Homo-oligomer: A and B are copies of this chain.
Amino acid sequence: MTTYLLGIDLGGTNIKIGCFDTALKLIGKISVPTDAEMGPDFIVDKFYCASEELLKQNDLSLADVCAVGIGSPGSVNLTEGVVAAAPNLPLFKNVPLKEMASRRLGKPAILENDANAACWAEHIIGAGKGSDHMILLTLGTGIGGGIITDGRLIHGPSGGAAELGHLIIYPDGRLCGCGQNGCVEAYASANSTAARATETVRGGVRSSLETPLKEHGKITCKDVFQHAGHGDAVAKEVVEGTAKALALLCVQLANVTDPESIVFAGGMIAAGDALLGPIRRFYKQTIGHVFNKGSLEICFAALGEDAGIIGAASLALTACR
């Protein structure tokens, strides 16, 4: 019986794959490192091997799978199934990922921008259920976005819409992977949050974050939130900076599409209220009083870290019919 779907969430750091039934119930999931520096062919091989492994763990095989949905970071041309460019996958330039994955797995494949896929999942069964005007922001290696207005995802003429990590919040600020200066991604992604902490500690400011830096040679975003929770001043200031950057992004977006809700997804939301609280606080402090946008709901994805694989699977569903 070919009644299962695979949803693949390709990230700059990890590839997550979920196996779902056609009611989008999660059967099982797996996560493997992306090894982005190995390039597209290697990554498509990983899709295959990790899918086989996941299916085996659940007493299934590829014969049981009807279609595969892939969420990829960067500019995705839906019609052509091509990843045009992705800052966190530097070797992906006009990669026909849909066709490559379809051939390697022997299944129909659907390719969408990863954040769009997650946004659609939250719209149909998650935090944005019932709202035709919502925005999703994924906080991971980079920052991605998906925009729904009037119940439809915005793609732009060639899939370049909703690159929401690349709104400039501090002109002439930190250099971003996209080539611009001062993007919100250069401040508030997991990588940038960790980088800002590392720079401060390396700059000689005393902090309990010296310990992970000495012990593991690096500071992670998780370290930053953990040490902020324990009262470290440097970590607290870095968290405030991340929240302020994300609040500024929310203000911009409130003034562009006027969503009813902005939903945060991705690995960083594990930080919980330590992240959501200050984002809401900075948003309220910053948003203008004239346009009555103070009531915007800022919340976390209901589907948690699974939004990406659920969204990808929901797209795969369209290829089964």
Does A171 count as interface, using CB distance less than 8 angstroms? Answer: yes
CA distance A167 to B249 in the complex (A): 9
Does A176 count as interface, using CB distance less than 8 angstroms? Answer: yes
CA distance A180 to B178 in the complex (A): 28
- Please judge, given known A-B contacts A152-B150, A257-B156, whether A286 and B180 are in contact too, CB under 8 Å: yes
Report whether over half of chain A's contact residues are helix, strand or loop; otherwise say mixed: loop
Contact B156 A133 (CB under 8 A): yes
A positions within 8 Å CB-CB of B: 74-75, 84-87, 132-133, 147, 149-150, 152, 154-164, 166-171, 176-181, 183, 248, 251-260, 286-293
- Please judge, given known A-B contacts A164-B256, A290-B87, whether A157 and B133 are in contact too, CB under 8 Å: yes
- Please judge, given known A-B contacts A149-B156, A169-B171, whether A256 and B162 are in contact too, CB under 8 Å: yes
A187 CB to nearest chain B CB (Å):
11
Q: What residues on B are CB-neighbors of A257 within 8 Å?
A: 147, 154, 156, 161, 256
Contact B258 A156 (CB under 8 A): yes
Contact A157 B291 (CB under 8 A): no
Contact A252 B288 (CB under 8 A): no
Contact A286 B168 (CB under 8 A): yes
Contact A288 B167 (CB under 8 A): no
CA distance A160 to B163 in the complex (A): 21
CA distance A292 to B213 in the complex (A): 37
Q: What residues on B are CB-neighbors of A84 within 8 Å?
A: 291-292
Contact B290 A178 (CB under 8 A): yes
Could you show 30 A-B contacts with beta carbons less than 8 Å apart? A75-B291, A84-B292, A85-B292, A87-B290, A147-B257, A149-B149, A149-B156, A149-B161, A150-B152, A157-B260, A158-B258, A160-B291, A161-B257, A163-B255, A166-B288, A167-B252, A168-B252, A171-B248, A171-B286, A177-B290, A178-B288, A178-B289, A179-B288, A179-B290, A180-B287, A180-B288, A181-B286, A252-B252, A252-B256, A253-B256
A268 CB to nearest chain B CB (Å):
20
